[in-house]
Amino acid sequence: MSKLKGMLHSHESCGTVDGPGLRYVIFLQGCRLRCKYCHNPDTWNHDDHKLTQTSEELMKDVLRYKPYIQNGGVTLSGGEPLLQATFALEFFKLCKKEGLHTAVDTSGYIFNDTVKEALEYTDLVLLDIKSINPKTHLELTEVELAPILEFANYLQSINKAIWIRHVLVPGWTDKEEDLQKLAEFLSPFTNIEKVEILPYHRLGEVKWEQLNIPYPLKDTLPPSPELLEKAKAIFRAQGLPI
């Protein structure tokens, strides 16, 4: 039995948006990105975890819901779950022994040999690409874009199933030129099951206020239905599944 404990923020027993089917979602603590629209800023700092569990302890919680999630699965989210890649690896090994589908929701910024090993036990990667424009990406997230594109290319090389997620933020990620470049980058990939263009929202703003952090997009409104549809059309034109 492993003594390694994961640093967790919370559990969601019946998630419906973080992978196919009904899912048990675990939010791990810690993230290197500082996205201006983040709706979970309370997961940023590794030491602010709400609880700790070994992979075996976490699996005991998951198995209570196995009858409900056996046609869905388990998703590790965050924060950035691959900051705790060794824990993710141990936990996903247990999931596979139980016949559970595994998914990881990641920015793709953390990429090393342990991550590669964890991916061997991962059925689906939900990859959040914030912007294909390096300057915009750095301003929006405070990290470089290059490691994320390297991660995406690796997923293609091993034919790992992925869902691409891109948040449409007016004034930041809605430029037609950038959307076109992102669609063109993704179009040769043969492992993309779908692309999700997600409208920016301000539901996480209250958490920023509770943490006494100024919310940088206070004056930014969600995209209009017309803008959202225009963005989706760009990806459809490249043959990508929306």
- The pLDDT tens digits for 54-75 are 999 999 999 999 999 999 999 9
Q: Given a cut of 70, is residue 43 above it in pLDDT?
A: yes
**pLDDT at position 2:** 72
Q: Tell me if the domain spanning 5-237 has CATH number 3.20.20.70.
A: yes
DSSP 65-113: THHHHTTSEEEEESS-GGGGHHHHHHHHHHHHHTT--EEEEE-S---SH
Provide mean pLDDT across the span 165-175: 97
Tell me the pLDDT tens digit for each residue of 111-125. Answer: 999 999 999 999 999
Here the tokens at position 20 are 């196919």
Q: What percent of the chain is predicted at pLDDT more than 70?
A: 100
What does the angle CA 147 – CA 185 – CA 230 come to, to the nearest 5 degrees? 120
**pLDDT at position 14:** 84
Kindly give, in sequence order, each residue whose CB lies less than 8 Å from that of residue 167, ignoring residues fewer than 6 positions away. 37, 128, 130, 173, 198, 199, 200
**pLDDT at position 16:** 87
Minimum mean pLDDT range among 13-17, 25-29, 115-119: 13-17
Higher pLDDT, 188 or 46: 188
Provide mean pLDDT across the span 9-24: 92
**pLDDT at position 84:** 97
* Confidence band of 33 (pLDDT split at 50, 70, 90): very high
CA distance 119 to 12: 22
* Confidence band of 1 (pLDDT split at 50, 70, 90): low
User: Which whole-number Å values give the CA distances from 236 to 59, 180, 229, in the listed order?
Assistant: 39, 11, 10
What average pLDDT does the chain have?
Answer: 96
